[in-house]
Structures are given as structure tokens and as C-alpha cells.
Structure 1
Amino acid sequence: MSKDRFPLSRRRFLAGSAILTGSYCLPGVLNSVWAAGSDAPEKTEIRVGFIPLTDCAPVVMAALKGFDKKHGITLIPSKEASWAAVRDKLTSGELDAAHVLYGMLYGLQLGVAGPQHQMANLMTLNNNGQAITLSNQLKAMKVTDAASLKQAVAAKPAGTFTFAHTFPTSTHAMWLYYWLANAGINPFEDVRTVVVPPPQMVMNMKIGNMSGYCVGEPWNQRAIRDNIGFTATTTQQIW
């Protein structure tokens, strides 16, 4: 084979490779590649749903104080009527993000209590801060805790007492069921359980629609302030 046909020697090949490699690492080349991308957010307005609860404060205050502006976005808080409304608007795309129940997140991921939808947990807003509130009518019957509630329930026909939580896959439902069951009360047979949006808990107890509920603050303290109920236990006392 003629040497003239392939005049590129090993030395010249390595030298050429070094030149090519060096040019790829030049700042000017890197900058031109970087300029093809962007640090700008994909959306400049982010609609964030929330329910009036104490733990919605980070979302609301971030918008009010303008903490979002330094990231090049505008948070638009959207007050919702119920957790079911939050679920529906998240899955339909009407909301970009939301302050949600921890259990709802996994429920949607698994297709439980709603259509299956890919979800992502970006941050935790609250640890505990929930409670179980019982009505003053129960207090008048000498009910002060789970054990005395068991006696009151046993003395009445099944389903006499109604207790509320916030959503089928909510931690409030889990806490309420666990607390009742631990006292020997079957939450699915001995009492009636219903779903009620957090802001409607106090009013429903006031008009006698239920004997107790499990919810986040401030709705437990509101029952005390309105003199219609008392805190039987807090969630950090349950587990």
C-alpha cells in the first residue's frame, strides 16, 4: 500500500486530535453552546390551589411578600372549596400546583379516590398540627376521651353518632379511624363517617350534623372559641 495514500502519521493524528479537543474546551465555544439553553422558567404565572388552613401560610405569604419574584415567577393563590375540587383542578391542569393532603398525593398516583395521575411532592408544609374535636353535646354526656366515647357509642344504636374527616385518602381519615378503632369503636359499623371540607366543619357541628371531626388547624381551635366543642386528642398524641 502506498504511503502517499494515507499521509497522516500517528504523530500528526494525535496533534490534530489535541487541537480539536482544545477548541471544544475554549470558553467561547462553551458559551455558544450554553447560550442555546435558558434559565427562564417554563411558566411565569403559577396557579397554586389552597384550602383555608394554617399550613397554607407558606403559599399565601410567598405570594403576598413577593418571594416568588426573585425566581422570575408570579404565584397566583387560588382558594378552593374542598379537597375534591383541588384534586379535580390538579388533574385537569387548571391548577399548576397545590397545597394538598399528603394522602391525596399518593391516592392520585395510585388511582385511588380519583383518576390515576402522575404526581410529585415538592415540599412538606406541615408536621402534625391536626386534632380530633368532639362536640359539647358529647361532653355533656361525660365524654372526655376515646374510652368514654366508647361507652357512649355502645349505649346507642349503631350509626347514632356521626364523625367527619376531610377526604377518603386523607391522613385525617386514617387518624380518625385509628383513634376510634383503638378504643374498640368500629369506624365503619358502630358510627357513621362522612367527608366534609375543612372550612365547613365548625358550622356542621354547630347545627348538629356531627358529633366530632378530625381536621387541621385552625378549625379545632375555632370550635373551642365558638364554644361548640373541645379537643379530644391531637394527632401527635395518636402516633
Structure 2
Amino acid sequence: MLHEAHETHEAYEAPEKRHLRVGFVALSDAAPLVVAKRLELGHEHGLTLELSRESSWAAIRDKLLTGELDAAHSLYGLVYGVQLGIGGPREDMAVLMVLNRNGQAVTVTPSLAGALADTADLRAALASLGRRPVFAQTFPTGTHAMFMNYWFAAQGIDPLTDITSIVIPPAHMVAAMEEGGLDGFCCGEPWHAVAQARGLGRTVAVSSDIWPNHPEKVLACRRDFVLRYPKTALALVRTLLSACRWLDMPGHRAEAAGWLAEPAWVGAPRDLIAARLLGDFGRLRGRHALLPVSFFDDGAVNYPHPADGMWFISQYRRWGMVGDDALAQAAHTAAAVNHTALFEAAARAEGVPVAPPPGSETLCDGRIWNTASAADLRAYVDGFAIRA
């Protein structure tokens, strides 16, 4: 049994709602949800999960807001964008746990990758295009948009004035590269591996080289779901913690890659999914060690640290998406969104250590993100040379 180390049915409390519809987007980092469904890990906690594959992050947002989805595999930044009312309806949201860290990338056309290899300078490589470059991300407030902006700015490129940024759902990125007119994209796997295998693109950066062990997808829902169904929310977090733990066990990622390859889930070649799940980036090199996607790491992955949410708010202010009032309220916002007490209760029940907040983290521009940065977001944002 997966749960020998934690309490079992003697402490069982039936969830208020037993059947849950949980959304996901076709990405390798949806693995915890797919594992939870394939192994029916929810049954131990009184839950039956119905997974709903959604076409885009906008669809995830809209169906969470209308109640068509109870919860979802979500971009961290999607939750905070909705919470702050950026670019769409505002709603009180909840981050229940982090589902993974790392696992995203930037891929560019082969010709641009060649120019970058020749010049070793992204500005010069982009200048060789003779026009304004076009890059795609997956959601305006999401991880990919913020990481792509950060990556460009770290190399002296203003993403607001020097780059045309468009939104494309992850599973459509490869087709967009094939159609032409797109110079690069940032999203999750396995679409970078697919583009490279088909000769349509070349991965030039992975997200762990932008921010090592960065937070990525989360288990999200509306805040009123947690208030109405607290036992259900607890059971769902316990279920997904079990799935994340399973993925860290020897040989299980390779097995999960076979499930993800099925059309109902991701629908990409198994070997391409497995390679990036296991951290095979070919001959790619970076400033930092190139880290594979992480799902558990003895629970260090999963704690919803409020400082993670505050980093997204700092970037929204940096790019002019929110005002100074959002910075002033960032700690309050993050404390309300990130349900740390719920997570800690689920972790205790599962025998998962509650990890302390990460220490200082150095991003690709040399800037340090730590508790001091989170405590003074105004100074942190003002320290960026390139900002709105």
C-alpha cells in the first residue's frame, strides 16, 4: 500500500461531495491527475474523480468560474490573475497544493536556434530576423508569459516593446510552428519534445534554468468550493499527494508516460513524453543544472508557499498589469489564496513532511528571490532594469 506510514480508515471522514469533475490541459505535468484516476487513488478517501480534458487555460478558467469544474490542474498565474481580476472576471480563488515544479521550456525555430548558436547573443539572433519576433505563450497571467518575459528581459530585450506575444493553447503550439509565422514558444512538455522531434523547433532553454525549482502547476478551485466542502477538499489534496508520491517511485514515471501517451490524456508519442519526464534534454546546456519536472521530493514540491504567489504579483506589477495597491496587499492576497492550513492537515494525514519555505533562489538574471524580496516587493520590482 502507498499509505502504510499514515492513518487510514479509523480517522476517515466522508467527504461532503463524492464525485468530482477535475479539469486538466494536455501536458505531461497533468501526470498526478492521470495517475490518481488510473489507480483510482480517490476511492480510499471516498472520492471518484472524473477528469475533463480542456482545450485551453481559458477554458479551465471559465469552467472553474461557472462551476462546471470542481477543481483543476492549473497554471499558478491563472489563479492569481483571476483573483486580481486581470484580463477577465474576478473571483476569490484557492490554491490547494503545488502539483509540480520545473518542466517547462522555450523552443524556437531551427533557423533562429542556429543564429543563436552562431552569435551566442539572443538580441543579435532576433535582429537577424529583420522584423519584430513573434512568440507564443499560453495565458496572459500564466507562468509561461511571466517566464518568457523574464527570460527576454534578462538578456536585455524588452518583451513589451521588442517582442510580439500571442496566446496559443499548449497542444496547438506544434501546429502553429508548422504553419509558420511563429518564431518560438513557451509552454509545458511534451510539446517542445514533439516540435524538436519533427524538426520544427529546437529547445534553447528550460524553465529550471530561468528559475531553479520554480512553482508551476497547482491544484486550484474557487474559494467557495473549499468553504462549502472542506472535507472534500482535504480528501482531494490527500489523493493528489498520493499520486505525486507514486510518481517519484522507481520506474513509475516511465509507466505513467505510457498512460499519458493515450489519446484521452495527452496523445503524444510515449518516448517523447518519457524523455522529458526523466530529464533528458539532449545536448542542451544552461547556467544552472537542467532539472526535470518534479512532482513530490518528499513533499518539498507540494507545499503552497504564499511567497510563490507573491512572486507572480511582483511580475504583474513589473509589467504594468496591476498597480502599487496590489503590491501593498500581496501578502494578504497570497495568504487568502494559498490554503496552507488545509494542505498541512492533508500532509499530516498522509505522513508527508511539511517542508520549510525554500531559501534564496537566484534567477537567470542574477536577481535573488527570498523572504526578504517577498517582504519588500516594491524594492524588488524597482530593482529591475527593464519593466513597464
Give the shorter-chain TM-score range.
0.7 to 0.9
Q: Supply the distance in 2 between the matched residues of 1:237 and 1:145 (Cα, whole angstroms).
A: 21
Partner of 2:179: 207
The DSSP-based 3-state class of the residue aligned with 2:74 is coil
Q: Supply the distance in 1 between the matched residues of 2:202 and 2:146 (Cα, whole angstroms).
A: 20
Q: Supply the distance in 1 between the matched residues of 2:102 and 2:119 (Cα, whole angstroms).
A: 19
1:155 Cα deviation after fit: 4.3
Q: Deviations over 1:85-140 (max 9, x none)?
A: 00000011010000000011111111123211111111111101111111112134
Partner of 1:48: 22
Q: Supply the distance in 2 between the matched residues of 1:196 and 1:174 (Cα, whole angstroms).
A: 15
Q: What aligned pairs does 1:74-223 form with structure 2 within 5 A after superposition?
A: 74-140=48-114, 142-144=115-117, 147-159=120-132, 161-223=133-195
Q: Supply the distance in 2 between the matched residues of 1:134 and 1:209 (Cα, whole angstroms).
A: 12
Work out whether residues 133 and 212 of structure 1, in 8 Å CA contact, stay in contact via their aligned partners in 2. yes
Q: Supply the distance in 2 between the matched residues of 1:43 and 1:235 (Cα, whole angstroms).
A: 37
Over 6 Å off, 4+ runs: none
Work out whether residues 158 and 189 of structure 1, in 8 Å CA contact, stay in contact via their aligned partners in 2. no
Q: What aligned pairs does 1:25-40 form with structure 2 within 5 A after superposition?
A: 39-40=13-14
Q: Supply the distance in 1 between the matched residues of 2:83 and 2:144 (Cα, whole angstroms).
A: 19
How many residues align? The count is 200
**Amino acid in structure 1 at the alignment position of 2:204:** A
Q: Supply the distance in 2 between the matched residues of 1:78 and 1:223 (Cα, whole angstroms).
A: 25
Q: Deviations over 1:6-28 (max 9, x none)?
A: xxxxxxxxxxxxxxxxxxxxxxx
Q: Supply the distance in 2 between the matched residues of 1:213 and 1:146 (Cα, whole angstroms).
A: 20
The DSSP-based 3-state class of the residue aligned with 1:46 is strand
**Amino acid in structure 2 at the alignment position of 1:99:** H
Bigger relative contact order (CA 8 A; separation at least 6): 2
Q: Supply the distance in 2 between the matched residues of 1:71 and 1:188 (Cα, whole angstroms).
A: 47
Structure 2 unpaired stretches of 5+: 1-11, 212-388
Partner of 1:236: 208
1:191 Cα deviation after fit: 2.0
Percent of pairs with identical residues: 49
Please report the TM-score for the alignment, with normalisation by the length of structure 2: 0.49
Q: Supply the distance in 2 between the matched residues of 1:131 and 1:158 (Cα, whole angstroms).
A: 24
Work out whether residues 144 and 232 of structure 1, in 8 Å CA contact, stay in contact via their aligned partners in 2. no
Tell me: CA distance 1:167–1:205, structure 2 relative to 1, closer, same or farther (3 Å).
same
Q: Supply the distance in 1 between the matched residues of 2:40 and 2:137 (Cα, whole angstroms).
A: 34
The DSSP-based 3-state class of the residue aligned with 1:99 is strand
The DSSP-based 3-state class of the residue aligned with 2:62 is helix
Work out whether residues 106 and 184 of structure 2, in 8 Å CA contact, stay in contact via their aligned partners in 1. yes
The DSSP-based 3-state class of the residue aligned with 2:90 is coil
Tell me: CA distance 1:146–1:125, structure 2 relative to 1, closer, same or farther (3 Å).
farther
Work out whether residues 166 and 215 of structure 1, in 8 Å CA contact, stay in contact via their aligned partners in 2. yes
Q: Supply the distance in 2 between the matched residues of 1:40 and 1:221 (Cα, whole angstroms).
A: 42
Superposed CA RMSD in Å reads 1.8
Q: Supply the distance in 1 between the matched residues of 2:49 and 2:120 (Cα, whole angstroms).
A: 46
Q: Supply the distance in 2 between the matched residues of 1:149 and 1:232 (Cα, whole angstroms).
A: 10
Structure 1 unpaired stretches of 5+: 1-37
**Amino acid in structure 2 at the alignment position of 1:144:** A
**Amino acid in structure 1 at the alignment position of 2:116:** V
1:60 Cα deviation after fit: 1.4
1:39 Cα deviation after fit: 3.1
Q: Supply the distance in 2 between the matched residues of 1:41 and 1:227 (Cα, whole angstroms).
A: 49
